[in-house]
Amino acid sequence: MKILFIVPGSGDSFYCGNCFRDNLQASALRKAGQDVIIMPLYLPMNYASLKSDTPLFFPATTYYTAQTLFGKRKMPKWLAHLTASDRMLKIASSLSGTTSAKGLEKMTLSMITGDDPAFIDHVSQLVDWIKYHEKPDIIHLSSSLLIGIAKILSLQLRIPIVCSIQDEEVWIDSMKNVYSNLAWQGIAENTVYIDQFITTSDFYKQKMMKKMPTLNNIDVVYPGVNREKYMTTDYPKNPVIGFFNHNNKENGLDILSEAFFKLKAENRIPNLQLKIGGGYTNKDKRLLKKVRQIVAPFREDVAIDDTYNPDEHAAFYRSISVISVPLTFEESVGLYLCEAFAAGRPAVEPATGSFPEIVGEAGLIYHPQNSDALADALYQLLSDNALYMKTVDHANELSETRYNDKTLAEHLINVYEKVV
């Protein structure tokens, strides 16, 4: 089966959940013998694990300029060429990483509604490429934030379309009400052009069905990783708490650093260490400065990776004892948990969002969501060897039965075959 994945690039400077989910899906399908074509939007993809197979469409710098400066007028070709240059896109990549749609409301609504001149111009280029280069059996859209593309593809190409949904509300609900309401309305109106939605947890399926009652064709497909890359029987000599995600406030990095400080100050877990990975952008530097100040008395026991490479995830998980990413919002799934489980590492997470569903007995769930409760849960897990080994066994079991690439590919292929 020939599958076209249309995915937004993030600039590859930090751990992006949706981007990594796309990576996992494409890799699993290719490993299962499927013909997968990666079509990037906005920003280029540069790493070995997920390279594009087509030109870049809707280049971020060009599309933003067209939306901001030209409105219903056509953008001059020379300016379109200049803004889509490698240099301009490299600058945009270095600045990417915001979780807020502030200043990007017009672009967001354009991609959802699919009816303004700039959108029509860019989507026409995308459709022409598909027509004359790689006409697939099925098209998989990375997010409902791209659902305007589905309308055009469905009307012009008559190819079945599957669309992933995952944490769209984090972006949409950061907009002012007038924009967010229009965005949800636009998604609801264009769901008729999607043959099947998929999401990563039953929690998020139920959440989206409450948000949009007409959205009832949703399948749950859990993410899965290549276990061979992660599996190990080696564990650090000293206990190491790991944080692996975009290093920002929304993901609770400051909460974890406070919990670590309390554990160290009271010497509750001898030789305890903290390792932070996942990357950050310029906008996150203020938070990282705060984190460094919090853990300053124990800086020799803290390691913060200043660079991010999607191809080096496994090495991080093999260097830690437990994963903890205390998110401040309800996430549809924590892909870092699936990776940690593949390495036999348990998790300590707040009792919010999909965490109770995803973690199960492969770790501890705590409440309330604060640094004191997190410190207590980490102490409970890392000070009780029998409990720790029990959660390790459950982590390995979940990875083997649910969160692996073979199971992921089987579920995706079943969805595609049903739709086709």
* pLDDT tens per residue, range 113-161: 998 888 999 999 999 999 998 789 999 999 999 999 999 999 999 999 9
pLDDT of residue 206 exceeding 90, the answer is yes
Q: Which of 218, 169, 212 is nearest to 198 (CA)?
A: 218
Cβ-contact 383, 268 below 8 angstroms: yes
The more confidently predicted of residues 196 and 211 is 196
Question: What pLDDT, on a 0 to 100 scale, did the predictor assign at position 72?
Answer: 63
**First CA to last CA across the chain, in angstroms?**
10
Please tell me the total count of domains within the chain. Answer: 2
Percent of the chain predicted with pLDDT > 90: 70
Q: Are residues 38 and 90 in the same domain?
A: yes
Q: What is the DSSP string of 4-65?
A: EEEEE---SSB--HHHHHHHHHHHHHHHTT-EEEEEEESS---STTS--SS--BS-HHHHHH
Cβ-contact 363, 322 below 8 angstroms: yes
Mean pLDDT of 348-369: 96
Q: Are residues 121 and 212 in the same domain?
A: yes
The lowest-confidence range among 64-78, 217-231, 326-340 is 64-78
pLDDT of residue 10 exceeding 90, the answer is no
- Spatial CB neighbours of 410, under 8 Å, sequence gap ≥ 6: 32
Question: What pLDDT, on a 0 to 100 scale, did the predictor assign at position 126?
Answer: 96
Tens of pLDDT, residue by residue over 359-392, are 999 999 999 999 999 999 999 999 999 999 999 9
Q: Which of 318, 247, 245 is nearest to 281 (CA)?
A: 247
Q: Are residues 218 and 237 in the same domain?
A: no
Question: What pLDDT, on a 0 to 100 scale, did the predictor assign at position 177?
Answer: 85
Q: Are residues 103 and 47 in the same domain?
A: yes
pTM above 0.85, yes or no: yes
Q: Which of 369, 323, 318, 377 is nearest to 346 (CA)?
A: 323
pLDDT of residue 107 exceeding 60, the answer is yes
Question: What pLDDT, on a 0 to 100 scale, did the predictor assign at position 66?
Answer: 77
Q: Are residues 30 and 176 in the same domain?
A: yes
Mean pLDDT of 283-299: 95
Q: What is the DSSP string of 307-330?
A: ---GGGHHHHHHT-SEE----SS-
Tens of pLDDT, residue by residue over 160-197, are 999 999 888 888 988 888 899 999 999 999 999 999 99
Q: Are residues 279 and 180 in the same domain?
A: no
The more confidently predicted of residues 74 and 122 is 122
Mean pLDDT over all residues of the chain?
90
The more confidently predicted of residues 352 and 281 is 352
The two three-digit tokens of residue 282, written as one number: 């310029």
For residue 297, name the pLDDT band (cuts at 50, 70, 90): very high
Q: How far apart are CA 248 and CA 327, in angstroms?
A: 10
Q: Can you give the residue range of the structural domain that contains 334?
A: 227-401
Among positive and negative, which fits the CA dihedral 196, 201, 205, 208? Answer: negative
Question: What pLDDT, on a 0 to 100 scale, did the predictor assign at position 369?
Answer: 92
Q: How far apart are CA 59 and CA 90, in angstroms?
A: 11
Q: Are residues 51 and 199 in the same domain?
A: yes
Q: Are residues 260 and 310 in the same domain?
A: yes
Helix axes 385-401, 371-382, angle to 10 degrees: 100
Mean pLDDT of 310-336: 94
Cβ-contact 165, 194 below 8 angstroms: no
Q: Are residues 125 and 234 in the same domain?
A: no
Tens of pLDDT, residue by residue over 39-52, are 999 888 765 556 77
Mean pLDDT of 242-264: 96
Q: Are residues 286 and 362 in the same domain?
A: yes
Give me the CATH number covering residue 92. Answer: 3.40.50.2000
Q: Are residues 80 and 207 in the same domain?
A: yes
Q: Are residues 117 and 253 in the same domain?
A: no
Question: What pLDDT, on a 0 to 100 scale, did the predictor assign at position 11?
Answer: 55
Cβ-contact 308, 264 below 8 angstroms: no
Question: What pLDDT, on a 0 to 100 scale, did the predictor assign at position 95?
Answer: 53
